[in-house]
Amino acid sequence: MNKTMKENTWYCIKCNVAMKQTTLPYYEFQEGVPIPHVPALQCPSCLKILLTEKQAKAVEARTDKLLEQQFGFERKLTTSGKSLVVGVPYELADHLGMKAGKKVKIFPLNGKGFIVKKIEA
Ligand SMILES: [Zn+2]
């Protein structure tokens, strides 16, 4: 054992042993959003898991990215004349810079639905 605690060494509060670098198969930073292969520290004695601030920030960023990719809005179709209308949530439209009056293009998606893309001016 080292005589002095190294700056980057973390100790298990319960066991007072140095925690070891490990890679968790999955870690849920946010409940229901498992992130694979997450670097973390683990106590070799009690197997307690600890994430350093840096590790926590990294897994938080990965969680945000995953949510962004998987995010979908559920909307009920309404009608306008013969056309079906889908309401675009304000936050999404604003994020994408879509405004009323701007043109979009609709692409069919394998008989499952469609994708709406903005037409870059
Ligand atoms: Zn421990």
- The residue ranges of every structural domain in the chain are 20-70, 78-118
Tens of pLDDT, residue by residue over 44-63, are: 999 999 999 999 999 999 98
User: How many whole angstroms from 14 Cα to the centroid of ligand 1?
Assistant: 5
Q: What local confidence, expressed as pLDDT, does residue 116 receive?
A: 86
The structure's pTM equals 0.53
User: How many whole angstroms from 16 Cα to the centroid of ligand 1?
Assistant: 7
Residues at Cβ < 5 Å from ligand 1 ion:
12, 14-15, 43, 45-46, 48
Q: Residue-wise over 105-119: b if at least 16 C-beta within 10 A, else e? A: eeeeeeeeeeeeeee
Mean pLDDT of 12-22: 95
Tens of pLDDT, residue by residue over 81-112, are: 999 998 888 877 887 888 999 999 998 887 87
